Amino acid sequence: MTKNTEIEAKTLLTEATYQQLCAAFPVKSDFLQANYYFDTHDGLLKQHQISCRVRIFKDHAEQTLKVPHSQLIQHNFHEAVEINDDLELAAAQKFVQQAEKGTVAIFNGNVEQYLKTNFGTQLELYLQTFSKTRRILAVGPENCELTFDATTYPDSYVDYELEIENSNPALIKKVLFSLENSYNFKQTKTNTNQPKIARAYAHRVRR
């Protein structure tokens, strides 16, 4: 289990700008991940600004809660506390297969403990939507890691995103400013810090 404070700048990009950025910086890793999002049918976690997901990769999986930070370190970028539990790949795949049939999702580990502590033992979570992402991690300016995501949603919509995550907000600001000037894009209210889970809900397909 890991629990850490996540500080990041998230910017939706045009496909052309995304491709430019992907080609401009040395790639550290390039992989696929499937993201499955859970909530009650009346959106209780969403009401508390909490996201609950299972992520499945080629050779491993994890379950994650993102919860609001009680004492923000900074106010310029997205910030949350992330609680992660590693999962065995086969177990995670079976978990999702059962959830896709409409069964209640029973979490364990530290995710379960947080949910029980804050919402009681009667909380019923169901699979609500999903997305699939090709994620590229690259070495950016100032040796700052950049994340380039191309994400496909249930209705086949695809979007493109730059994430800059770092514990140093000043470095995030400096790198973002450099990229905006070099690649002719700008953060706006509509393209900044738009959570993937919200986009997955906007593009989900009702059964």
What does the pLDDT look like over 136-169, one tens digit per residue?
999 999 999 999 999 999 999 999 999 999 999 9
pLDDT(27) > 60: yes
DSSP assigned state of 42: T
Average pLDDT, the chain: 95
In this predicted model, what pLDDT tens digit does every residue of 87-138 receive, in sequence order? 999 999 999 999 999 999 999 999 999 999 999 999 999 999 999 999 999 9
In this predicted model, what pLDDT tens digit does every residue of 63-90 receive, in sequence order? 999 999 877 777 788 889 999 999 999 9
The whole-number pLDDT of residue 74 equals 73
Q: How far is Cα 172 from Cα 157, in angstroms, rounded to an integer?
A: 29
pLDDT(206) > 80: no
The whole-number pLDDT of residue 122 equals 92
Average pLDDT over residues 3-11: 90
Residue % of the chain over a pLDDT of 70:
99
Angle between helix 169-183 and helix 15-24 axes, rounded to 10 deg? 110
Q: Which of 105, 137, 129 is nearest to 32 (CA)?
A: 137
Cβ atoms of 13 and 21 within 8 Å: the answer is yes
Single-letter residue type at 150: A
The whole-number pLDDT of residue 207 equals 62
Structure tokens at 118: 């804050």
Average pLDDT over residues 12-29: 98
Cβ atoms of 114 and 64 within 8 Å: the answer is no
Residue keyed to tokens 């995030």 = 172
Instruction: State in Å, rounded, how far the first CA of the chain is from the last one.
Output: 34
The whole-number pLDDT of residue 2 equals 64
The residue ranking higher by pLDDT, 4 or 36, is 36
The whole-number pLDDT of residue 69 equals 82
